[in-house]
Chain A
Amino acid sequence: QKEVEQNSGPLSVPEGAIASLNCTYSDRGSQSFFWYRQYSGKSPELIMSIYSNGDKEDGRFTAQLNKASQYVSLLIRDSQPSDSATYLCAVNIKTAGNQFYFGTGTSLTVIP
């Protein structure tokens, strides 16, 4: 079983809609959770970090964490064509030497 799993997509949403990206993780020792955005041919860049249960909002982005269900999600409101990218879920696992484990990413396309 992979440490971090994401639906690879592709996920397509119309401009202005809400995009919902999901991620599950297997290790209950996980303590920090991150969403990275990666444009084609570019390096990952941090979008959101979340450390405790609940929601965290930053502009059009909301990260949601449910440790009991081992689930973390990213909502993108008012999606824009510039949001078209691959979104990587990353989990920092304390019991694994504080290493980051990445999902394979979800490809998002926002259709104008």
Chain B
Amino acid sequence: NAGVTQTPKFQVLKTGQSMTLQCAQDMNHNSMYWYRQDPGMGLRLIYYSASEGTTDKGEVPNGYNVSRLNKREFSLRLESAAPSQTSVYFCASRRGPNTGELFFGEGSRLTVL
């Protein structure tokens, strides 16, 4: 039972570089989310996908883009990384947009120099 799988686990980027964080879930969940977690700030929602084919902005979407590739996969792209995007990123999924709890992946630690 893999649950929610994120790759990569760790990444170091230089300012201006781009990268994509991948997320896949095997629980047949409809809704998927990307959060970032910073010290003293808690978990903040970047983007979410309530169902396959839809995406919406969360609390802190600037500098990010997402793609809901299919029901299983939801990727987060940083087009031009900035030091302010240094953070731990968590992908999460949920059975439906108003159903049940969030299940989290293991996290991706990103450092932008």
Within 8 A of B (CB), among A93-112: 94, 97-100, 102-105
B2 interfacial contact with A, CB 8 Å: no
The tally of CB-CB contacts under 8 A between chains A and B is 46
Contact A104 B97 (CB under 8 A): no
Contact A43 B107 (CB under 8 A): yes
How many chain B residues touch A (Cβ–Cβ < 8 Å)? 22
The number of chain A residues touching the other chain, given as a range, is: 20 to 34
**Residues from chain B with Cβ under 8 Å of A99 in the complex:** 45, 48, 58
The residue on B at minimum CB distance from A100 is B102
Write out, one digit per residue, whether chain A residues 7-49 have a CB within 8 A of any chain B CB (1) or not (0).
0100000000000000000000000001000000011111001
Extra contacts besides A4-B42, A100-B33 (20): CB < 8 Å: A34-B101, A34-B102, A42-B106, A42-B107, A43-B107, A44-B90, A44-B104, A46-B102, A49-B100, A88-B42, A92-B98, A94-B98, A98-B50, A99-B48, A99-B58, A100-B102, A102-B43, A102-B44, A103-B42, A104-B40
